[in-house]
Amino acid sequence: MTLRSKTTERRGTDVSATRLIAPGFLPPPPDRFDEIDIPEQTLMDIAVRQVYLRSTCTIHGLASLMKLSLALAEGIFRRLNDQQYLEVRRMTGDDYVFSLSAAGRRLALERAATMRYAGPAPVSLRAYTEMVRRQTAQVLVNREGLRRAFSDIIVSDVLLDAIGPALISQSALFLYGPSGTGKTTIAERLLRVYHDAVLVPWAVELDGQIITIGDPAVHEQVEPVYGDDERSGSRFDYDHLDNRWMVTRRPFLGVGGELVTSMLDLQKDDMTATFTAPLQMKANNGILLIDDFGRQLMSPRDLLNRWIVPLDRRVDFLSLGSGKFDIPFELMVVFSTNMEPQELADDAFLRRIPNKILIEPVDGETFDKIFHIVAKAVGMECEPGAAEFCRELCLRHSPDLRPCFPRDLCGAMRSIALYEGRRPAVTRAALERAVASYFI
């Protein structure tokens, strides 16, 4: 499965501006077995697996590996030691160095038939559901705010005024229009309107099964600050946070033509006997982009039928061996396509995507501005009148002007110049050569 996490587009937002709702929003770390929300046996199985894979461990090391408080890690150690599953080898400072006993190794091998997970301790499905619901995005944005979010590209006020209400509604968004008009570029910048952090669990437990969610390649961890009136701007102490949760920016996941039906369901990992969360679960509290919609390996009808209820009711259903269970569907789904909406979906589904925005080709003035921005970005000097000449050349081969033309042609001219050992520059001759190989 291929996921695209667009971290580069997020960096326009100052990390120090990230806020959590309030200190009370942070779940405290459990220190005792009666304070944790998952079965004690699950904790023991993970701890035994961690020690089995490493030969020896310490209480501090176990706490770090399982993302638990030192007090709870010590409780796990003492419980396993009392049951003679551990052997203490020596002391290091005020900590124990221990390994599995013969009985502990037998237990590890027995449990490996159904449990080979060796990561951070999971949270319960109930805790996960409650947290996702609490973190539902509340977007307040106006035209000026959107101008800042899209400051590195040229977007008309008309388009901004269409995008703004869609973001506030947090309902599904349908971006459509000719190829090369910037639909994906616009979608990738929508995340910039969020300035808060969210909590994402490393894993979730349900009926003894582990579902991994937190993924550093997808969920960008940040250093948050308090957002309440009393302690606004102050850093919080991570000792007061249940580290089974990652503090991250709101996620952005993008998937294109490689999308298949299985990506929307739990994926079994035979190596660890655990499950990997589907796309929509990893994207909860953020944005999921379905790029090039209509060109996936799975048919548009299959995708639409799969999500017609989640888009309407904000609840999705997944299946485990124990049966079906529901998860929150608190994300903004963005469909991007160069096909006509009526070719992809019927009225019943289109009604569940209330925001449909046509991304059209640009006018001549906008085209010239984009051309100069692109040429400057790649360090290419332009001879006088180059942008206008490029526009004329493009209109000879295309009925309209698209924002992708300057980027693609500048890239072609740069490649040709480097191949011939010349300094890249925008000239009429270079443009004619690039255009000749670009258009059919």
What are the backbone dihedrals phi and psi of residue 411, each rounded to the nearest 5 degrees, phi first? Answer: -65, -40
Give me the CATH code for the 39-121 domain, please.
1.10.10.10
Residue ranges of domains in the chain: 7-26+126-358, 39-121, 364-438
Instruction: Name the one residue in this structure whose structure tokens are 């300094």.
Output: 423
Check if the beta carbon of residue 248 is closer than 8 Å to that of residue 222. yes
DSSP E strand stretches across 157-258: 173-176, 197-201, 203-206, 209-212, 245-249, 252-255
Distance CA 203, CA 211 (A): 5
pLDDT for the residue 345: 81
Q: What is the pLDDT of residue 349?
A: 81
For the chain, residues with pLDDT lower than 70 are: 1-25, 224-239
Fold classification of 7-26+126-358 (topology level): Rossmann fold (3.40.50)
Residue 42's pLDDT is: 95
What is the value of pTM for the model shown? 0.88
Q: How far apart are CA 440 and CA 438, in angstroms?
A: 7
Looking at residue 340, what is its pLDDT?
Answer: 86
Alpha-carbon distance 414 to 411, whole Å? 5
Question: How confident is the model at residue 19, as a pLDDT?
Answer: 55
52-92: pLDDT as tens digits: 999 999 999 999 999 999 999 999 999 999 999 999 999 99
What is the fold of 364-438? Helicase, Ruva Protein; domain 3 (1.10.8)
